[in-house]
Amino acid sequence: MDLAETLRISVRSLRSHRLRAALTVVGIVIGIAAVVTFATFGASLKADVVSEIEGSSANEVYLVATEADEGGFGGAGQPVFTEYDLSQLRTIEGVQRVVPRGIVPVSAVGHDGETIAQRQVTATNATAFDTATFEAGRPFRNGASEAVVNRPAAQLFPGNLSTGDELTVTRSSGDRFNVTVVGVVNGTGGQLPFSSFTDQPRVFVPADPYYQSVVESPNAVASQRVYSQVTVVTDPADTSATQQRVREYFDGDRSDAAQLVPDGYEVTAQTNADLVDSIERIVTRLTRFVTGIAVIALVVGAVGIANIMLVSVTERTREIGIMKAVGARSRDVMELFLAEAVLLGALGAVLGVPLGIAGGWVATRYAEIPLELAPGWFAAAVAVGVLTGVIAGLYPAWRAARVDPIDALRYE
């Protein structure tokens, strides 16, 4: 029996049981669609995160002290970088500027009789604004009673904040200090790349005089301000070498941070490229895990195909006997039933892929990220659908091929 004849008979058999075949295909469609949806969403998420990170400065080295198994980007980090460390970092070859960042715990920020609850303001220095884009005004001056706000923070108050407005900041301890808004900025330099993912209101004040976290410097033997994050801006042509020199500085006891870091923590010096690699690995693993769960639906679909083919073998026992009586070989019978199973799997894959793409589009719209297709997963989904049909149809096809023609002709 040639291939065309096998396919013709298979299609005729499936059409004679349309509802049963359709319900079986639905199981495969759901499985394939789930796989494609999760793969598409994972690819879109990875592309969006990576584009955000790569859009920030490539010549920045981020220093954070985090738990050793977090890879260097596990949150704000421990405050271990002293003024002594900052001065030593500025002397390293290839370092253009050093931007410290600390958190000032507050309870509220007020303006013109309006008070907004706020948990923190960011303490840094004027170098954080060297590459910033200002909508209005200028950077604050170190040591001055001035502040810079981003657009979301400016929009917290009626009429929006503008340069020259006065802010009253209430610390968590209850103490208050007043600052004058001198700039409204879109973004600042020296922040961790993923800080831009959440468009939260941010108020920036000079570390001197408003940042009060201090520690005894082991090397300077004096009380100094201590920061949880430091960004080293390097010569763009020498970023990798400078990153290595910065790492070497924190080896041993030359730095305060190396001596102040708690047990189980480590000081890391990471660049955007390091973060991109980490994010890609994490998102890829997550996508594979979630997609693996979706494969369970494919297993259910395979069981459905096996079930319908076993029923078909029983129902067509007499037909099998007639085929063998007129010269059909066991191989022909096996190929016929296997073709039917493969057609069910292939049809499910063909219908499941566009449905999965539609599901991925809906998921990306909900998450407000750009759609990024994953063609490799689409091809894999079709292949899996066909393979599912093959595997699910093997036993029923083998069973059909073993039917004795004499017994089959007597079957009622």
β partners of residue 226: 82
pLDDT at site 137: 93
Q: Which two tokens stand for residue 258?
A: 């190396």
Q: Give pLDDT tens digits for 296-327.
A: 777 777 788 787 777 777 777 777 777 777 77
Inter-helix orientation angle 18-54/375-401, to 10°: 150
Using CA atoms, how far residue 383 sits from 180, 285, 340, 342, in Å, is 64, 21, 16, 11
Q: Give pLDDT tens digits for 101-151.
A: 999 999 999 998 899 999 999 999 998 888 888 999 999 999 999 999 998
Question: DSSP letters of 189-238?
Answer: SSS-GGGGGS----EEEEHHHH---EEEETTTTEEEEEESEEEEEE-GGG
pLDDT at site 142: 93
Q: Is the peptide bond before 209 cis (omega within 30 degrees of 0)?
A: yes
Q: Is 174 left (phi over 0), alpha (psi -120 to 50) or beta?
A: left
pLDDT at site 13: 77
What pTM was computed for the model?
0.62
pLDDT at site 278: 75
pLDDT at residue 194 is higher than 50: no
pLDDT at residue 195 is higher than 80: no
Q: Give pLDDT tens digits for 325-373.
A: 777 777 777 888 788 888 888 888 888 889 989 999 998 998 888 888 8
pLDDT at residue 197 is higher than 50: no
Q: How confident is the model at residue 181 (pLDDT cuts 50, 70, 90)?
A: very high
Q: Give pLDDT tens digits for 380-400.
A: 777 877 787 788 777 777 777
- CA-nearest of 314, 321, 388 to 349 is 388
Question: What's the gap between Cα 15 and its chain centre?
Answer: 44
Asked if 25 and 348 count as a contact pair (C-beta separation under 8 A), the reply is yes
- Cβ-Cβ contacts under 8 Å for 61 (sequence gap 6 or more): 231, 232, 234, 239, 242, 243, 246, 269, 270, 271
What is the C-alpha to C-alpha distance for residues 2 and 6, in angstroms, rounded to an integer? 6
pLDDT at residue 93 is higher than 50: yes
**Tokens 């502040």 belong to residue:** 147
Q: Give pLDDT tens digits for 202-219.
A: 999 999 999 999 999 999
Q: Give pLDDT tens digits for 279-292.
A: 778 778 887 787 77
Strand order in the sheet with 222-227: 81-82, 222-227, 214-217
Phi and psi at residue 139, to the nearest 5°: -70, 155
Please give the mean pLDDT across all residues of the chain.
Answer: 83
| 3-state helix/strand/coil string of 114-164 | EEEECCEEEEECHHHHCCCCEEEECCCCCCCCEEEEEHHHHCCCCCCCCCC
List the end-to-end C-alpha distance of the chain, in Å, as a whole number: 26
Asked if 294 and 35 count as a contact pair (C-beta separation under 8 A), the reply is yes
Written as one letter, the residue type at 404 is: D
β partners of residue 216: 223
Domain coordinates in residue numbering, the chain: 3-51+277-410, 60-270
292-310 burial string, b = 16+ CB within 10 Å, else e? eebeebbeebbebbbebbb
Average of per-residue pLDDT across 7-23: 80
**Which of 25-34, 143-152, 252-261 has the least mean pLDDT?**
25-34
pLDDT at site 361: 93
